[in-house]
């Protein structure tokens, strides 16, 4: 099971708060989607992607890994693309916390530490590169991956830049997009594309280079 992807039981499931009220509000004949089955399917999607890639992945294979029938999958998602985008979205929704160390270098270094941990996650290291290959052929995947992965990071970069401007460490008009490229770009290249381990002191050095580039 992917860390951080175990939601609380939704209202209306046995043992959850408000279960009786949720049952009263549910329309007659409505299907109740078991959350444990949903979690099992999500885990199976990840395993299937890591094993065979997006192009060869199938609803049949996912259902088999999850120990459910295909109908259980189709009740939740209309296609394998919807399944994969859901997986990426759930992973990205965990978000990156905005650091607040009191200095530009400290914020950049903290962001690199969190980003390095996230990029070592199996969703990033195994699934995302495969999706990017598919994105070259399917614009829908490209748009969804871009939204899921970049929106949160843009927000964090913008906060770092705003704080640095207020402290006088960066000039007004510093571009958060450029900041994100300088900070996370080299890390993504090394961990996800090249898949090379980080040597000792790499994050410290990268933080210094990124700060110098932002101030240039």
* CA pair distance 51, 48, nearest whole angstrom: 5
Residues of the chain with CATH 1.10.357.10: 92-215
| Opening angle at CA 133, ends 71 and 79, nearest 5 | 15
Q: Give pLDDT, residue 123.
A: 66
Radius of gyration of the chain (CA): 21
pTM: 0.63
Q: Give pLDDT, residue 6.
A: 41
Q: Tokens 């109740």 label which residue?
A: 32
Q: Give pLDDT, residue 149.
A: 66
| Domain spanning 1-78: CATH superfamily | Homeodomain-like (1.10.10.60)
Q: What is the average per-residue pLDDT within 170-193? A: 91
Q: Judge whether 49 and 123 are in contact, CB under 8 Å.
A: no
pLDDT of residue 21 exceeding 70, the answer is no
pLDDT of residue 4 exceeding 80, the answer is no
* Count of beta carbons in the 10 Å neighbourhood of residue 67: 11
Q: Give pLDDT, residue 122.
A: 67
pLDDT of residue 183 exceeding 50, the answer is yes
Residues of the chain with CATH 1.10.10.60: 1-78
Q: What is the average per-residue pLDDT within 171-191? A: 92
The CATH number fitting domain 92-215, selected from 3.30.70.360, 1.10.357.10, 3.40.5.50, 3.40.640.10: 1.10.357.10
Give the range with max mean pLDDT: 5-19, 131-145, 192-206.
192-206
Taken in order 187, 189, 194, 195, the sign of the CA dihedral is: positive
- Give 29-67 pLDDT, tens digit per residue: 445 678 899 989 988 887 887 788 777 889 999 999 999
18: tokens are 């408000």
pLDDT of residue 19 exceeding 70, the answer is no
Query: What is the DSSP code string of the chain?
Result: --TT--PPPPTTSTTSTTHHHHHHHSPTTPPP--HHHHHHHHHHHHHHHHHHHHHH--HHHHHHHHTS-HHHHHTT-SSHHHHHHHHHHHHHHT--PPP--SSHHHHHHHHHHHHHHHHTSHIIIIIHHHHHHHHTT-HHHHHHHHHHHHHHHHHHHHHHHHHHHHHTSS-TT--HHHHHHHHHHHHHIIIIIS--PPPTTHHHHHHHHHHHHHH-
């Amino acid at each position: 099971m992917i860390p951080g992807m175990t939601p609380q039981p939704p209202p209306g499931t046995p043992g959850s708060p408000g279960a009786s009220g949720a049952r009263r509000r549910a329309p007659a004949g409505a299907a109740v989607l078991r959350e444990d089955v949903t979690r099992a399917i999500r885990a199976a999607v990840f395993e299937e992607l890591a094993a065979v890639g997006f192009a060869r992945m199938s609803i049949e294979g996912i259902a088999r890994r999850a120990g459910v029938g295909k109908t259980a999958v189709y009740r939740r998602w209309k296609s394998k693309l919807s399944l994969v985008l859901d997986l990426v979205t759930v992973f990205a929704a965990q978000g990156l916390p905005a650091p607040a160390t009191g200095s530009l270098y400290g914020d950049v270094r903290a962001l690199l530490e969190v980003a390095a941990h996230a990029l070592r996650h199996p969703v990033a290291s195994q699934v995302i590169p495969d999706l990017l290959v598919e994105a070259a052929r399917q614009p829908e995947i490209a748009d969804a991956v871009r939204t899921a992965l970049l929106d949160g990071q843009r927000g964090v970069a913008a906060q770092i830049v705003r704080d640095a401007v207020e402290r006088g460490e960066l000039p007004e008009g510093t571009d958060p997009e450029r900041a994100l490229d300088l900070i996370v770009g080299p890390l993504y290249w090394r961990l996800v594309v090249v898949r090379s381990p980080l040597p000792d002191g790499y994050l410290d050095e990268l933080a210094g280079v990124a700060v110098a580039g932002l101030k240039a």
